[in-house]
Amino acid sequence: MHTLSETRPDAVPGDGQPPSAVDDARPESRFAVPGFDAVARLAAQALHVPLVALVLSDGRAYWYTAGADDPTRPSDILATAYLEAARSHTAEVVLDTGDDARFRPAPPVPHPASAPVRFFASEPVRTLTGQQVGALCVMDHAPRSALAEHERVALRDAAALAGAGVVLRSYLGRTDPVTQLPHRSAFFEDLRTHLRDDTNHAWLVAIEVASVARFNAFVRAMGHAYADELMRVVAARVQQWMTPDMHLYQVSVTRLAIVLPQTHGEPTPARLDELVARLRHPFDCLNIPLTLRPGIGLLQVDARELRGGDPLRRVMSASHAAQRNAPGWARYEQTQDEHHRQQFFLVTELAAAITERAELDLHYQPRIDLDSGRCVALEALLRWHHPTLGEVQPGEFIGLAEQAGLMRALTEWVFDHGMAQLATWRADGLDIRLSLNVSSADFDAELVARLQVLMSRHGIDPHLLELEFTESTLMQHCDATRRHLAAICALGTTVAIDDFGIGYSNLASLRQMPASSLKIDQSLVRGIDKSHADAAIVRSVSALARDLGFRVVIEGVESESVHNVVLAMACDEVQGFHISRPLPARDVPGWLRSYAAAPLPPRHRTSS
């Protein structure tokens, strides 16, 4: 049995760790010097010793203890001795530490595994270039009369192997194993060295090779070997663009960074255009062609920025933004960065609002049947009242929720609270139906089961619900879409196509969708009282939808003049500020009673 631990023999009393303490030894440190486990075991067997330590010149020590459950706790005296050995350029053998003043007095300890060390030998540990980096020390609890030549040779060989491990540790500590480039830790280490003088500055270039989603798609489709080779060939092409005074790093799985020293100056737009062009040229990766749309970010950094922030994050913010612009490169802009940080803040706050805080609320907007003048449904619309930001508009957080994977939880919250409110209204005698919006993230085979659970929980008849899907969501899936919609309709719940006219407007697919209602987007409606062209578009779409069997709902009816134009069209319902703004739940019963007393006058249905 053996154990390994790490300690720092050069720690001094008063800094929170006495020299002999190993109480905070980290279990993972056994891998800090690759191969030390095997080296220590061989040395212990060859020299017949129970204790082996690799002591580095910076004071770190890696302990091997044979035949004990716990690492040996070195005494203050021994800690000093092996630290001296680590910094000595010569081998040392102390056959009996009792005869050496450096090892006296040895503290009495009761545990046999921690008995005083009486034999000590060390051999310098060097790199392949001969640089002294520490010493390999072997110890025993009994003195020796001699150290045989073959034991000295074994100790030298073990020290040489340990030196190779130290070199490997240093290599792994700076180098990405895939591209063989220095990685993020080395990037910051080198940047700190370069910017040690406050008068210095450097230019950073970040290269976003591919979005995380697309890179993961490479892995799923082609495997990790393909993705690894892609990063290697991209790095090679970047190096062809670089000058000798530039340094390239791999700072994440999909990102590279270049440090340009102060003497190089800012890269010109022409040089950045050249780098973008090189990386947009198709790659032949494992005999499979691939075209990338990379983003190149540019940032000037000095020592003050390095101390006060994270320049790598800032330049990567610029490279991420550059993926979406035509040139493919962009300088860092603080306003854009602050926007990204605000989005991240909103996402984290939204996650808390869904699960922990009472900040979310539903408002309800009436829909009016034009033939009867009755309010036939309410659309549930999510609102977020943040304690410090105030009202956060749905347009600000719905898209972020979809990107951050929060949409299913958000939809679940809306469904649960909307159905609970509908059950309350129905129990109070309000004859009303509820319309709920569904995102593309929720549109899968599990949606029906989720609906059934919530309907059962709140005692809601499926016929009282309508689910609204955007046009773009419904046109994305084809056969799967039709199967999911058919399953929803089988429950007795109706389906509406929302925001029609701003997405695909794929009429061939539209005629095959098992939906009952089509809602014409308000962006097409707002100007129909002033624009004959807008009115003609809405009139034609309404008539076509009616001919295809849809119940047509026109959104965005915000004035009496727009309402009057709509009355002459082939449509069934209207919704908008002219009828009512979205209402908090507490105001709905009163509004419904007052509207029932003085409804909009019904109009004679216009033929299509």
Tens-place pLDDT, residues 157-206: 999 998 888 777 766 677 777 787 888 888 888 888 888 776 678 899 99
Q: Please tell me the predicted confidence (pLDDT) of residue 463.
A: 95
Greater pLDDT, 408 or 26: 408
Q: Please tell me the predicted confidence (pLDDT) of residue 12.
A: 29
Q: Please tell me the predicted confidence (pLDDT) of residue 399.
A: 84
Mean pLDDT of 554-579: 92
pLDDT at 34 over 70: yes
Greater pLDDT, 515 or 109: 515
Cβ burial, residue 181 (10 Å; 0-12/13-18/19+): buried
Tens digit of pLDDT for each residue in 221-274?
888 888 888 998 999 999 999 998 899 999 988 999 999 987 788 899 999 999
Per-residue confidence band for 150, with pLDDT thresholds at 50, 70 and 90: very high
Mean pLDDT of 389-408: 86
Mean pLDDT of 93-109: 76
Which of 5-19, 112-126, 189-203 shows the lowest per-residue confidence on average (mean pLDDT)? 5-19
pLDDT at 302 over 60: yes
pLDDT at 14 over 70: no
Q: Please tell me the predicted confidence (pLDDT) of residue 74.
A: 54
Q: Please tell me the predicted confidence (pLDDT) of residue 419.
A: 97
What percent of the chain has a predicted confidence (pLDDT) above 90?
Answer: 39
pLDDT at 381 over 90: yes
Sheet holding 247-252, edge to edge: 247-252, 255-260, 201-208, 295-302, 329-331
Per-residue confidence band for 110, with pLDDT thresholds at 50, 70 and 90: very low
pLDDT at 27 over 70: no
Q: Please tell me the predicted confidence (pLDDT) of residue 220.
A: 85
Greater pLDDT, 332 or 81: 332
Q: Please tell me the predicted confidence (pLDDT) of residue 320.
A: 87
Q: Please give the Cα distance from 139 to 46 (Å, whole number).
A: 13
Q: Please give the Cα distance from 427 to 440 (Å, whole number).
A: 32
Cα 608 off chain centre by:
52
Q: Give the H/E segment covering residue 545.
A: helix 532-547
Across 139-143, 174-178, 443-447, 460-464, the highest mean pLDDT is recorded for 460-464
Greater pLDDT, 245 or 152: 152
- Give per-residue burial for 111-135: e unless 16+ CB within 10 Å, then b: eebbbbbbbbbbbbbbeeeeeebbb
pLDDT at 130 over 70: yes
Mean pLDDT of 309-330: 88
pLDDT at 4 over 70: no
Q: Please tell me the predicted confidence (pLDDT) of residue 479.
A: 75
* Block residue for tokens 């809405």: 538
Q: Please give the Cα distance from 305 to 587 (Å, whole number).
A: 53
Which of 4-13, 215-224, 250-259 shows the lowest per-residue confidence on average (mean pLDDT)? 4-13
What percent of the chain has a predicted confidence (pLDDT) above 70?
Answer: 87
Instruction: Tell me if 556 sits within 8 A of 519, measured CB to CB.
Output: no
Q: Please tell me the predicted confidence (pLDDT) of residue 35.
A: 78
pLDDT at 471 over 50: yes
CB 17: neighbour CB atoms within 10 A?
Answer: 15
Q: Please give the Cα distance from 311 to 297 (Å, whole number).
A: 11
Q: Please tell me the predicted confidence (pLDDT) of residue 584.
A: 96
Which of 1-15, 87-101, 326-340, 477-491 shows the lowest per-residue confidence on average (mean pLDDT)? 1-15
Set out the domains of the chain in order of their start, with CATH numbers. Answer: 2-174 (3.30.450.40), 184-332 (3.30.70.270), 363-381+406-597 (3.20.20.450)
Q: Please tell me the predicted confidence (pLDDT) of residue 151.
A: 94
pLDDT at 323 over 50: yes
Mean pLDDT of 137-162: 92
Q: Please tell me the predicted confidence (pLDDT) of residue 68.
A: 55
Mean pLDDT of 33-55: 87
Mean pLDDT across the chain: 83
